[in-house]
Amino acid sequence: MASLIDRIDHTIEPDTENDEDRNLNLHLFSAALRQWALGKVTRTKVVNMFDISSGQEAQLDAFKTEYDAKTNDVQRINYLQTMIDAMIFKEKGRLTHAQFKTMLDLPA
């Protein structure tokens, strides 16, 4: 099973049996994460919106855990912007998985 980061990275081949692209649209995904962090949508909505597997849910939760760990609004805003930047860099092949996780303070 592909990781959530693989889906951000656009390294997954389409599922030809279902003619389905499993890669994430980074703009939609980052918008959903941002709205979840701000309490505007639920975790369940994000999971369903992007068909996130149970194996990918821990990776999804890591984004929110890091956001919640920030102690003030400036840190939270900076984290959300860094998340968007990291996803753009990752999608365009400018970061490795390890660099992406480091940039967002995610577990290795």
Per-residue pLDDT, 4:
80
Mean pLDDT, residues 2-23 taken together: 62
Q: Enter the pTM of the model.
A: 0.77
| Paired tokens of 103 | 């940039």
Domain count, the chain: 1
- Look at residue 37 and tell me whether its pLDDT is greater than 70: yes
Mean pLDDT of the chain: 84
The residue among 62 and 26 whose pLDDT is bigger is 62
Predicted confidence at residue 82, as pLDDT, reads 94
- The verdict on residue 108 lying in a domain is no
Distance (Å, whole) CA 93 – CA 96: 7
Q: Is 20 inside a domain boundary?
A: yes
Indicate whether 34 belongs to any domain.
yes
Distance CA 5, CA 11 (A): 9
- What residue numbers bound the domain in which 84 lies? 4-103
